[in-house]
Structure 1
Amino acid sequence: MPDPTYGARHIAIIMDGNGRWAKRKHLPRALGHKKGVEAVRNIVRVAGKMGIEAMTLYAFSSENWNRPDEEISDLMGLLRQYIQSDIEEFVENGIRLKVIGNYKALDDDIVGMIDNAIERTAANDKMTLAVALNYGAQDELLRATQEIAAAVKNGRLDPEEIETGHISAALDTADLPPLDLLIRTSGELRLSNFLLWQAAYSELYFTDVLWPDFDQKELEKALKSFGDRERRFGGR
C-alpha cells in the first residue's frame, strides 16, 4: 500500500487567506477566521489518519499584534473555543499539543488553557501538532543565540565548538523531526518570518487556494508534489 505521506514526516502550513475568503463571499472577516478554524480541525484529523508525525501551523505571528484590536479579540476568542472544544479529541486520538513562540504573553486564561492542554496530551505519540502563537522566526533565532551565548559565558561551551546542531537544539522545534514540507495558501510567495532556520532544505509548496478551502484533497496534492521531487540537500 503506497505511503499517503510520500515520506514526509513533518509538514508546516502558513494558513493564509481567511480575510480574502470572507471578502469574496461578502461576509464579515470574523467569519473567515471561524471558517479557517474549521479547516484547521479537518486538516489535523486528516494528517493524523495519514500518519504524519508532526504538523506545525502558523496561527498567530508576533507581527499580527499590528492588526485591529477587534480582529485580535476575535482571533483570541476562536483560540479559546478551539482549545476547549478539541482537547478531548486530541486526548482520544493520541495527538500531542506543542506550542512554539512566546505564548506566555497572551491573556492569562489562554495561557492556562494551553498549559493544561499541553500537560494532558504530553504522553500522546500518534502525531504532534505544533501551533505557532506569538511566533516569529527571527525572535526564535535571537532567543537561541542568547541561550548559546549564555552557555559560552558560563564556560559550558567553547565558541570554537559551536555547530549548527547547537542552534537546532536551542530552537522551539528541537524535539520535532526535520521539516520536510512547508505549505503556504492564498497565492502569497513568501515565508513571512516562519521557520526560517528549519526551512533551509525543506520543500516549498505554494497554492492559490485560500486557507478555509484547503481540505484533504489539497493536502494530498501538496504531498504528491513533495513526493515527485528529488531532494538533494545541496549535494548535487
Structure 2
Amino acid sequence: MTASAGMRAARTSRVSEPPQTLAEAVAERIREQVISGMLTPGSHLSEQMLCDELQVSRNTLREVFRLLTKEGLLRYEANRGVFVSIPSLSTIIDIYRVRRFIECPALAQAHPGHPGAKHMRAAVEDARRCREARDWLGVGSADIAFHAAIVELADSPRLSTFYAQIALELRLVFGLLRDPEFLHGPFIDQNVAIVGELEAGRASAAAGLLEAYLLRAERFILGAYTRVVA
C-alpha cells in the first residue's frame, strides 16, 4: 500500500457513507494537494485558476472554500482572498498532545496480526523507497500513512476519521518548515524500530518507543518552527 493509499484508507474507513456532493469531491481534491505538498501554508488560491483546473463553477468553488475554511485548512482575508492556513505554535503543541492521546494507547493494546500492523510495515517500506529516490515529500506522506495505520489499530472508524483531520494539519506544519529531508530523514529508522517491536509481540515496548518518538518530534518541529518564524 502506498502512502497516499494509506491516507485515503484513513479517511474512508467509515461505514455506509452517503455519496459525495460535487463540492465535497472538489474539497477532497484540494485536501489531496495539501497532503502531497503541492499546496503549502500561506499559498494564495486563485478562484479563476482553480475553476479552470477543477472544471467547476465559481459558486461550487466558493462552497468548497467555505467547507475547508470551517475545517481550518483555509483562511479568508478581506480584500486579499483565500489562503492555505499557516499553523501557529499553539496548534503544533495541541496536535502532538492529541497524537499522544490517540496513538500510544492504540499501539499499546495492539495485536501483531492486526491489518494495521501490515499497513505500518508497508508505510515504512514505502518511506525507505522514497528515501532511496530522494523523494522527501514522499517520505513525509509515508510517515503520515504510518501513523494513520497506528490509529487503525484501535478499530475505531471515528478515531480514524478524526485523525485524518489531524493529519491534514500536520501536513501544514510539515509544509511550513520547507526542508523535508531535514524534517523526515531522522524519523524513518525510528518508525522501523516501532513496527519491529509490534511485529515481535512487544506492543507495550512499541508504545514506549512511540511516545518517546512523538516527544522528540514535537521538540524538533517546535525548534525548526521557531527558527523559520524568526
TM-score tier by shorter-chain length is under 0.3
| Higher share in helix | 2
| Higher share in strand | 1
Give the TM-score of the pair, scaled to structure 1. 0.25
Give the TM-score of the pair, scaled to structure 2. 0.25
